[in-house]
Structure 1
């Protein structure tokens, strides 16, 4: 049994997309089952098993309500029936498992009693993953600035490892404090059964190759087609776009829109306005005031990880963060950049048909034409 538990923003969506494409040959050539779950209902969806784990763990995930947990409850036993029926190794992928506390880790491990459980942790440097997490929060409707987000991370980390392990709301550092995450799962399955896979960022298929090695399927590294292996499954917001969506989120809240209405207009703007642009601006980076803190966190986590003795696939130097200014550091967002993004956003939700009848009724088209 193999559990891929994230971290968030480490390339999990990319890996899940690849695994969904190669599930058949992976089972045939490596004996590893990547069971269908979401794709049974939505054939083009990225396959993950997170909703099924919500049925098992419920409100251990801070973002899951009791009502939603009840709705998801049947998914876990249905998934486990497939896992138990498979004569070989099964692979489940759910990045939210990186956020849970030790009693919940024990509960997950107990579900596989009698089987050897291996845990794969994919990780990326904090100066890439944490800014990406902030833009994801903005995309999901949050209203904290990037500076406020990093200040919150600092306050939470300063609570210390014991509080991070114990307190429900400190789940971000349960996931991103890499040494603590590895120790939590190694306590249940043994350090020799934990693999840490480093995502270097590029080329994208290097992550898949390292992951295939970690799960004992190196010979499957070339299974996906080139377009699948080199595809970036999730495109995040750039710095300019994140600032625009941040302002939109505040306006949505002030207007009293529901969470679902807000999500619908954001996705319409993103998919049809912002993401298709060719010149989208630089990605989000760690704010300069937080850079030294992030570099120190990375050093602490790397030292803690090395002390666990778990196997690492990749180069740990790729997880180091510099405290000095980097090429990715961006100046304040320029008004003209925001204006261009805002124009694309407006055009994404504007209805041309809404205005054309009014022009015809008022005879504007004829008058405008006579002035041409």
Structure 2
């Protein structure tokens, strides 16, 4: 059995996908120089995929993830034993990364930790300020087919947070605040493994490789921080929607739902619009942001989390102050104008329009024959 297991559990939208891609590229030096195994899972089948272990945890925890059906969980059931075989075979430290683990309840935490027996388990939480993560989560929901406006989305978040600590810890459907409420997330895992075995890594957002350097320090591999090609170290793995694009898709999603399009049909249409229309534009507009009426709420939530973090006894890599929302909203944010939304809509229409449908139809064959110049038979006499 491994002598130690490190669980990287997110949060979502805190740079986890970026870190998982980096870890996939640096897994060799990580094992050779630091004795840390980052086990293959996806790359065994898809060499260019971004490595993570979330699907394997679905095979163990099943319905603890509200977004995973029983059939999907059953389909992943074999992956957890395969992953555990690699954990048992490695003599040093094993690093597992699955951001969905930030959303599980205390009973599921205990069930997961029991899989490792007496092996010490440490937890690394990556986090970012709420006025960045929550708008990014909203645009991801819209990209996945939801039709809630930003105002509606933050109203739901406020209602759920008001349900209180106990409800968030116990009710399956309140998983968003189990994952994004940093204070509760730290408290839950510190109670399970001890505060001395929990580290919180702050993602300041820029430069992107600063997150990787902090993460490498947190997992005990600072010597690997520079063992990575520069194009990977500074790469951004997600291309989020801009404010005008998200507003456009909110309206589109509502119309698709009213028209009775299936989930598959709607997803295919959105991806074509995104790939061939919106993401290909040079001028794409500003980033999504917390709507003005919700900014005070978000600042209050962040201060509550910072207070709990300060009293938790866990180690923070980075500066806690970097988790405070910007006073005037994210830099560069401007509300989408009607012209920007119109430009996005025009790009979307062009992306899914088959130009050939609008070309003039060729004239009928009989008409083409009638206007074709007559040719003389070489054997016929001249008139």
SS at match of 2:301: helix
- 1:281-360 to 2 correspondence within 5 Å? 281-322=285-326, 324=328, 327-331=331-335, 333-356=336-359, 359-360=361-362
What TM-score results when the alignment is normalised by the length of structure 1? 0.94
1:59-208, aligned counterparts within 5 Å?
Answer: 59-208=63-212
Query: In 2 relative to 1, CA 362–228 (structure 1 residues): closer, same or farther, beyond 3 Å?
Result: farther
1:326 & 1:305 partners in 2: Cα distance? 23
Q: Which runs of 4+ in 1 moved over 6 A?
A: none
Q: Distance in 1 between matches of 2:160 and 2:280?
A: 36
Q: CA deviation at 1:335?
A: 2.2
TM-score by length of 2: 0.91
Note closer, same or farther for the CA distance 1:362–1:91 as it changes in structure 2 (3 Å cut): farther
1:192-231 matches, within 5 Å, as 192-231=196-235
The 3-state SS of whatever aligns with 1:63 is coil
- The alignment partner of 2:200 has SS state of strand
The verdict on how the C-alpha distance between 1:361 and 1:302 changes in structure 2, with shifts beyond 3 A counting, is farther
Contact 1:294 1:323 in 2 (8 A): no
- Measured at CA, do residues 307 and 26 of structure 1 come closer, stay the same or move farther in structure 2, by a change above 3 Å? same
CA contact (8 A) 2:30 2:37 kept: yes
Question: Residues 103-149 of structure 1: CA distance to partner in whole angstroms, max 9, x if unpaired?
Answer: 00001111111211110000000010000000000011111110000
Partner of 2:381: none
Structure 1: stretches of 5+ with no match in the other structure = 367-372
Contact 1:273 1:345 in 2 (8 A): yes
In 2: Cα distance, 1:144 partner to 1:56 partner: 32
Greater share of helix = 1
In the alignment, is the contact (CA less than 8 A) between 2:290 and 2:329 conserved in 1?
no
SS at match of 1:247: helix
Give me the whole-angstrom Cα distance separating, in 1, the residues matched to 2:339 and 2:273. 18
Higher Rg of the two aligned structures: 2
In structure 2, the partner of 1:40 is 44
Partner Cα separation in structure 1 for residue 122 and residue 321 of structure 2: 24
* Structure-2 change in CA distance of 1:288 and 1:37 (3 Å): same
Q: Do the aligned partners of 2:105 and 2:170 also contact (CA within 8 Å) in 1?
A: yes
SS at 1:120's partner residue? strand
Unpaired runs of 5+ residues, structure 2, are: 369-383
Structure 1 pair 81–303 and aligned structure 2 pair: CA distance change class (3 A): same
Q: Deviations over 1:248-285 (max 9, x none)?
A: 21122122222122112211211221112121111001
> How much does 1:177 deviate?
1.2
